[in-house]
Structure 1
Amino acid sequence: MSNFLKREKPRGEKQSVRLLTFNTWGLKFISKHRRERLQAIADELANPTTPDNDYDIIALQEIWCEEDWEYLSHVCRKRYRYRRSFKSGIITGPGLAILSKIPIVETFLYRFPINGRSSAFFRGDWYVGKSIAVTMFQSHDEGSLPIALLNSHMHAPYGHGDASYSCHRACQAWDFAKLVRMLKKAGYAVMQVGDLNSKPESLPYKIFTVEGGLTDSWNVLHRDRLIPNEDIAKLTVEDQIKLAGVTCNSRLNTWRKERAMSEACRLDYALIDANNITPVKAEVKFTHLLPHPLLCSYSDHFAYNVEVLVNSVDELVTPEPNHNLEDRETVYKELLAEIKGYRTYTIPFQAAWRKASFIFALLIVIGMHIGIIFVANIAGWLSIIFLLITTLVIIAGMLNGMIWYFGVRSESRALQEVQMEVEDAYTHVRQYTNPRNVAPSSRNSKYIPRVQVEEEPLTE
């Protein structure tokens, strides 16, 4: 912590905290120049050239190779005494890591129960165990509130329709909001950071800000000149970064230089509890290129840096239990509609064809076993081919059967649980916004059950 406390400040003023969040694009075998880029990032973090590039807390995403983390941890050990990488998943961990000058008091990892499909092995989100890495820090300044940092890399969108995974990200945002609300009630100054794969004003973003009660630090500092999403494409590539805070799909990024101007967006955030945290400066970082001979961007994302002031313990503002009721009701209805659509169309389709594939494979195997008797009499080598085909069909059928029985059914139940949680919250809010729509017997009950009397449908 000594490095942190050495920063000079006027007597009586609060000590600010400088935070950086950065998706490093550390996919093994897929990310180009991964080792060289990650080492360059580590070197720059360990040896900042200017005070503005010296951070107190660094939240990293896509640190998926152990050798990259070992290099980062080794190079940064003097400047950042407190370091932590998080583990989960089958193939590798969630890729989340923390470097800090402020002592870490406690950490835990919350793994998303809804996180892609096991059948999408070529995407990998399910296999790496996408999670929320929660880190609680010691008070960085005398009398200040302790910071609780939630770092995550949410499920990516891979296309339109079913490939967008919009329902998965919305459910992940719901889990985020619950953790945020609990930590705020516990007296922490809460910050949510990372590559959240959600554009401003998307449903997950609304859940973060309305249900979680967080505020976009970039918006706070640029409230007088906010750029709507639809107007970002009209800006120059430089202004997209400077004025709109674009961190992804910028043409200034060598890995995204072929992208359309309309694809530039902001996916990397530092969302804050604005009642207890005040942002004073925000900037997009790591926009420059690596030196010769690489001459490429450090990652396919740019980093986001924010400097904040944290309230003292005496200035703690606790969240109001019934804030933004009408906005929350709107968000609940939108989230329920998203879940209902997924459970109505995608889940039955996935279950039906996986189950059908399993049954069809079983019938083929039975037929092949019968047919091998006749084939063996024609030519011995044909029986070997029949056995090989039978083996492949058995493997394919078993995989589809297990995906149906364990994967799709588990995903359906997890979605149903989120739906019931949202319905509970919806009912609770409705008793304040429109009491006549709540069953009289439940209005004075300690536990408000899911909607019993409802004049309007829960979903639209």
Structure 2
Amino acid sequence: MATDLDSFQVQLSSASSGGESVTLRLLTMNCWGLRVISKFRRERMEAIAHELVGYDVVALQEIWSKDDFEVMRDIAKSLPYSHMFYSGVIGSGLCIFSKYPIVGSYFHAFMASGGIFDMTKGDLFAGKGVGMCRIKLPGEGCHLSMYTSHTYSRYRDSQLFEIMQFIHYTRGRDLVVFCGDLNTYPKMVGLKLYSKCLDLEDSFFHGECTPESCYQCQNCHTCDNTGNTFGKRTPKRIDYMFFSPKASCGYAMVDKEYTHVMKELIPEKEYNYSDHVGIEVKVKVVKDSAASQEILGDFSFIDNDEKRIVLQEIRASIEKKRNQLRDGNPFITIDGIKRWITWHLIYAIVALLLMAFVPPVLNIFTNILWAYLILRWMRNFAGHVMELSLFAGVEANYRDICNYLSSNGSSLVVPENNDSNGDETTTLV
């Protein structure tokens, strides 16, 4: 470790004294590392780890096993600094590897994630959220805040709003990179939180490429690509890397190059690295005297009409989810609780009458019916109680947006946006 630190000090001295730029090679990838479910998990994790050589900072998602993280850390020795974000029962699935020292880390768990009725998705146990590592780059006062996350499609806009706030209040004067599997298509309004409200750039876009054009572009897909051995659904772009063009620490990120990596089969194997591809972005970090004049601490994500319109659109989307949760949970109101108890008492009485009056030869069927009803009532009761926290989380985000808008006297009308919610199916995980 002493050798790594000595080498870093040499780079630091060279960059600060000579004003030389530093080129960063960044990677983000969803590794699909679910125990039992993911095929060839250990072999794929080792293969991915071998591909990490040469990168400066790597953010991975769906590394659910600590053993996989340890194996990858042992193999990727060119990235001596690493951090795994622990959360929930099985972990957040997020981790970051770095060539440069990680001087701090922080994790925020989403207020609204999976419920008991979403058990097949696993979000109830994962404790998903957004993780951040602060990395000391070569150059005096040059730090990179690397953020990574993996959102759940049922609550994506609420979660994306939480991520936006998290980045806003923790970025400080640092350069910013935000990446991960956002389960969000390019035209959806949630991504505007980063491009419009946080002034981050989507590293994919170039020239005349826009969210509208790349929506149909075959080259932009990052998940379930055609020919992928694990891809069973429609190809789509749901993985992203955003970055800040400049920061008030006096540095800027320029000359970015975007590439998809690990698209092919693993050498000498008959399967891919993951059902996702990796996103590699090369950026050059340079001194920028103009950037040092910007005070990001005073930056507001509601300081103009364009940003407030984005928040209005997000508010409409989150309100829709809020109303769905309210309508689907009888325990939200006193009247709902009364109706739930009344109907279940009626079911119980009917079941008991059946047991009392059917011939003895049919008792076995009535007992099975009674057992089924009891199990169903217990499941529904537990599910509705646990989903109260989901409602509270979405409600809190909705109230935050309302407060932000009202405190600035916003009276803007929400424009019609048919793509604000996009595909509401839960096939994205």
SS in 2 for 1:16: strand
Aligned counterparts of 2:170 and 2:244: Cα–Cα separation in 1: 10
In the alignment, is the contact (CA less than 8 A) between 1:358 and 1:397 conserved in 2?
Answer: no
Length, aligned pairs only? 396
Q: Is the 8 A contact 1:56 1:100 kept in 2?
A: yes
Question: Within 5 A, what are the aligned runs for 1:303-452?
Answer: 303-310=278-285, 315-316=291-292, 317-319=294-296, 320-321=299-300, 325-351=304-330, 360-366=343-349, 368=351, 378=360, 382=363, 389-407=369-387, 409-430=388-409
Q: How far apart, in 1, do the equivalents of 2:173 and 2:9 lie?
A: 23
Residue 332 of structure 1, CA deviation: 1.8
Q: Which residue pairs with 1:21 in the alignment?
A: 28
Note the C-alpha offset of 1:97: 0.9
Cα deviation code 1:336-371 (max 9, x no counterpart) = 221222333453134389966765444444555566
Match of 1:254 among 224, 229, 236: 229
How many Å apart are 1:372 and its aligned residue? 5.2
Instruction: Tell me what 1:81 maps to.
Output: 80
Structure 2 Cα separation of the partners of residues 395 and 419 of structure 1: 34
1:246 is displaced (CA, Å) by 3.0
Q: Which amino acid aligns with 2:168?
A: R
Q: Summarize the alignment of residues 91-106 of structure 1 with structure 2, pairs less than 5 Å apart.
A: 92-106=90-104
1:206 and 2:192 aligned: yes
**Distance of 1:176 and 1:283 partners within structure 2:** 25
For 1:36 and 1:226, the matched residues in 2 are separated by 36
Q: Deviations over 1:182-226 (max 9, x none)?
A: 123x2222211111111223111011222222211222xx2x241
Task: Assess if the C-alpha contact under 8 Å between 2:116 and 2:386 holds in 1.
Answer: no
Overall identity of the aligned pairs, in %: 26
For 1:247 and 1:145, the matched residues in 2 are separated by 31
Question: Which residue is equivalent to 2:160?
Answer: 173
Asked if the contact 2:325/2:391 (under 8 Å) is kept, the reply is no
Task: Decide whether the 8 Å contact of 1:23 with 1:61 is kept in 2.
Answer: yes
User: Counterparts of 1:74 and 1:363 in 2: how far apart (Å)?
Assistant: 61
CA 1:189 to 1:389, structure 2 compared with 1: closer, same or farther past 3 Å?
Answer: same
Amino acid at match of 1:84: H
* Partner SS state of residue 83, structure 1: strand
8 A contact 2:185–2:215 mirrored in 1: no
Amino acid paired to 1:343: R
Q: Which residue of structure 2 lines up, in the alignment, with residue 283 of structure 1?
A: 259
Letter of the 2:122 counterpart? G
Is 1:183 aligned to 2:165, yes or no? no
Contact (CA 8 Å) 1:359, 1:397: kept in 2 or not? no
Closer/same/farther in 2, CA of residues 282 and 231 from structure 1, 3 Å limit:
closer
- Does the 8 A contact of 2:186 with 2:214 survive in 1? no
1:33 & 1:400 partners in 2: Cα distance? 36
Give 1:152's match in structure 2, choosing from 143, 149, 152.
149
1:36 equivalent in structure 2? 43
* Structure-2 change in CA distance of 1:12 and 1:311 (3 Å): closer
> What TM-score do you get using the length of structure 2 for normalisation?
0.81
Report deviation, 1:313.
9.2
Aligned-residue CA RMSD in angstroms? 3.2
Ranges in structure 2 where 5+ consecutive residues have no aligned partner: 417-429
Per the TM alignment, residue 43 of structure 1 is displaced from its structure 2 partner at its CA by 2.5
CA 1:62–1:267 in 2, change beyond 3 Å: closer, same or farther? same
TM-score (structure 1 length as normaliser): 0.76
